[in-house]
Amino acid sequence: MLLKKQTVWLLTMLSLVVVLSVYYITSPEQKSNDLAAVKQNAKDQTVQQQSKSNTVAKDGKTTVTQVAGDDEFTALRMKLEDQRSEQKAELTTVVASTDIPADQRSKAMDQMQKLNQTAQKEEILETLIKTMGYEDALVRADGEQVRVTVKSKKQPTPSAANEIIQKVKKEIGETNYVAVEFQPSK
């Protein structure tokens, strides 16, 4: 059977797309985050200096102020993302190595997928909590423990904390311990 030129061209392009997709998926990540890490370290030092000056004494009274709450959440998110990126890089080297048995590479791939799923669930939970009327939320899942920090103008109540815990348990099913902390906003 004779194929037309257009059909051959289409099949060639499709196979090229498939080959490039496989290469992109299996290639190790590039280490272009060095500049971001330097900026992050400088930002972490600034946040630490600001957090040391959280208490201010006025006329014999001690006033506790919340300095840069959004910056703290952002710094914690970036720190968590950096840790996960390092774990993914290590797992990627394990998966790409041909010296390691296939079952260990498979376990490393499963761990990478679990890291991605955990990050996605954290983002979803943060969005859900924000839609409940809170200003900001930070969700950190670590194994069976989940820590939720909520920034709110509202007075924290046990029922609000319980509602957040129920959302977390609904989204991340394998949790045994969920801690909710409320931070007052400005």
User: What mean pLDDT do residues 108-129 have?
Assistant: 88
Q: Please indicate, yes or no, whether the overall pTM of this predicted structure exceeds 0.85.
A: no
The SS3 of residue 56 is: strand
**Going by C-beta distance under 8 Å and a sequence separation of 6 or more, which residues neighbour residue 26?**
96
Between β-strands 145-152 and 177-184, what pairing exists: parallel, antiparallel or unpaired?
Answer: parallel
What's residue 135's pLDDT? 87
Asked whether residue 10 carries a pLDDT value surpassing 80, the answer given is yes
What's residue 35's pLDDT? 38
Note the Cα 127 to chain centre separation in Å.
13
Facing residues of 79 across strands?
A: none
**pLDDT band per the 50, 70, 90 thresholds, residue 166:** confident
Specify the DSSP class assigned to residue 172: S
